[in-house]
Structure 1
Amino acid sequence: MSILDATLAAGRREAEARMRDTVRLYTQGEDVFDRESGQTAPGPQSTLYQGPARIKGVAQSSGEDTQAGERELVLREYEVAVPWATTLPQGARLLPGARIEVLSSLDPRMAGLVLWVTGAKFADQATAWRISVEDRS
């Protein structure tokens, strides 16, 4: 093992030690309208990853106001780091629009938060897999 490989392995262990939140990364299918009840039900979900993560706000986040229908939203940017060796199910790709639900966190205000994936960063010399997300609440 080279010095670089040993350093990366140590860095990845340290990065994982800081992952104190638990998240579920999933895709959401199209909503389904039930003609009998007149209600729209959420489409099926497909879990891509569930496990430890570290969630942190992006320092230069603009907190941009935007309009969605008749409701005003503030978009806040975050970065979610999951273990570098995380793999997705066969044939799955992480695309914008996937969601990350915070299942548990030492910050009780985070539990239940749903974040929307806007992009992902890939690098062979990274200590974690970093996913760009936004809070659309």
Structure 2
Amino acid sequence: MNELDGILAAGRAAAAELMRETVALYRPGSGDFDWSTGTTTPAPATTLYSGPARVKPLTAEGREVDAGEQPLTLTRFTVSLPWTAPVPSVQPRPGDVVDILASPDARMVGLRLWVTGVQYSSTATAWRISAEDRS
């Protein structure tokens, strides 16, 4: 192990200690539309990760937008997963979902975030995912 590997190991251990939320990262199923009944049968979601994470807002304010004539406030977050998290067989992508299942801050439980980007780096201390709250 060289000096950089030791520094990264210490940084990754410190980052893991900050991961106080429990999240589920998944890809929603697309579902099947039945033209004769006009209904959609939901398809099962694909779980990409479930476990500890750090969920941190990027700013204290959101951005208001109109989506389909509905006003929404977009608030951006960074979701950090452990460096040691298993690599999913399907890589996360925009449109995937992060649900916060547990947190010391009870106001965060039940928050649903939509993935907007995924960061990769061999020198990162955690696996970071950009996401937004669309409420």
TM-score by length of 2: 0.89
* Shift >6 Å, 4+ stretches: none
Structure 2: segments with no counterpart, 5+ residues: none
Q: RMSD value over aligned CA atoms?
A: 1.9
Alignment-derived partner of residue 129 in structure 1: 127
Write the distance in 1 (CA, Å) between the matches of 2:105 and 2:31: 31
The one-letter code of the counterpart of 1:77 is: R
1:26 to 1:126, Cα distance in 2 relative to 1, 3 A: same
Offset of residue 27 of structure 1: 0.0
The sequence identity of aligned pairs, in percent, is: 48
1:73-114 deviation line (CA, Å, top 9, x unaligned): 001000000001223332x11110011000101111111111
Structure 1 unaligned residues grouped into runs of 5+: none
Give a deviation string over 1:24-51, Cα, whole Å, max 9, x none. Answer: 0000011444678765454321100000
Residue 59 of structure 2 is aligned to residue 56 of structure 1: no
Matched residues, number = 135
1:104-115 matches, cutoff 5 A: 104-115=102-113
Deviations 1:42-71 (A, max 9, x none): 432110000000011103x76221122232
User: Matches of residues 39-118 of structure 1 in structure 2 within 5 Å?
Assistant: 39-59=39-59, 63-90=62-89, 92-118=90-116
**Partner SS, residue 97 of structure 1:** coil
Q: Residues 134, 13 of structure 1: CA spacing in aligned structure 2 closer, same or farther, 3 A cutoff?
A: same
| TM-score of the aligned structures, taking structure 1 as reference length | 0.88
Greater Cα shift, 37-46 or 63-72: 37-46
